[in-house]
Amino acid sequence: MTVRIATMGMAGCSGCHIALLDTGTALLDLLKDVELVYSYPIVDTKNPIPPNIDVALVEGSIRTDHDQEMAKAMRKQAKCLIALGACSAHGGVNGLANTFNAQEGVEYVYHKTVLMAQKIVPHENVPQVLPADLRLSDVVKVDFVIPGCPPNPDEIAKVITTLLAGETPQLSKKSVCDECPLERLTEIPKKLRRTHEIPELGTCLLSQGFLCMGPATRAGCNAECTHRNMPCTGCRGPAETVWDQGIAMLDALAAMEEDQVANFKLPRLAGTFARYTYASSKLDNLRKGVKKK
């Protein structure tokens, strides 16, 4: 029996769809038993979402009312809905917009940037920006998540083949540190270091003062960044045992001297410790609570 698969992109860069295509021969093998019935980032079509979809993969966060309605329409037609990538799963980098007022952002873009000659905010026949960036599960029920920015092509292929076999895929329950080959040290770093600085080879980046998100981030990527001596940025979202990715790393940073962390105000803190998860974080919930008061 042929399995009907659909994909959809919302507020995002389409990088997750590139990762899907990067599955290469695995994708070709899948297509022998799969019919791609809808995929507007890959196939140019104006047709509505068809019925009886077995598996739907949705990338991007929900930023407009159009995104919201498309997500609901896909959920209605799909038996299994997968959040593909960091934006769909956790809000992604787009979620950092939640540290600012959405309407003020629109006003700034259309009224204050020099490229906008007419200084008019489009309002006819265009999607309306929502008050906040949302992850897919904020709007519809999500059956499974494939994390990452972008997701690993091998993991995408593995999840799809597992589903087609009638089994339930499993995400890693470990943290990136568990997959990292670098030697761990127990010393608290004396200062924070920037990513342009050259780290020592073979030694834990966090212990050297680089803001590596490995301890709070879900494994499954084979620690690709730290294998290349670059700090983990946390794109796979919180590890299984982490209550909140950003707060977990903030707690670790709190052990440092005060003058090292004094300039970490909310936008910078969110961009560092909750770069991909701010829209679904406790930090954003706290901000909303303070704003209401």
Tell me whether residue 198 is in a domain. Answer: yes
CA atoms within 13 A on the CB side of 19: 25
CATH number of residue 85's parent domain: 3.40.50.700
- Calpha distance 260→263 (Å, rounded): 8
Q: 13 and 153: one domain?
A: yes
Q: 159 and 180: one domain?
A: no
pLDDT in the model for residue 191: 76
- Calpha distance 246→237 (Å, rounded): 10
HEC string of the chain?
CCEEEEEEECECCCHHHHHHHCCCHHHHHHCCCEEEEEECCCCCCCCCCCCCEEEEEEECEEEEHHHHHHHHHHHHHEEEEEEECHHHHHCCHHHHHHHCCHHHHHHHHHHCCCCCCCCCCCCCCCCCEEEEEECHHHCCCCCEEECCCCCCHHHHHHHHHHHHCCCCCCCCCCEHHHHCCCECCCCCCCCCECCCCCCCCCECCCCCCECCCHHHEECCCCCHHHHCCCCCCCCCCECCCCCCHHHHHHHHHCCCCHHHHCCCCHHHHHHHHCCCCHHHCHHHHHHHHHHHC
Range of the domain at 75: 3-99+124-164
pLDDT in the model for residue 271: 81
Q: 46 and 149: one domain?
A: yes
Q: 143 and 183: one domain?
A: no
pTM assigned to the model = 0.88
Q: 80 and 42: one domain?
A: yes
Q: 147 and 229: one domain?
A: no
pLDDT in the model for residue 275: 93
Q: 129 and 226: one domain?
A: no
Q: Mean pLDDT score of the chain, rounded to an integer? A: 86
pLDDT in the model for residue 267: 62
Q: 57 and 142: one domain?
A: yes
Are the C-beta atoms of residues 80 and 56 closer than 8 Å to each other? yes
Q: 152 and 27: one domain?
A: yes
Q: 190 and 45: one domain?
A: no
Residues lower than pLDDT 50 in the chain = 293
What is the count of structural domains for the chain?
Answer: 2
Q: 180 and 148: one domain?
A: no
pLDDT in the model for residue 293: 47
Tell me whether residue 274 is in a domain. Answer: yes
Q: 155 and 216: one domain?
A: no
Could you report how far apart the first and last alpha carbons of the chain are, in Å?
A: 56
- pLDDT tens string 84-142: 999 999 999 999 999 888 888 888 888 888 777 777 888 888 899 999 999 999 999 99
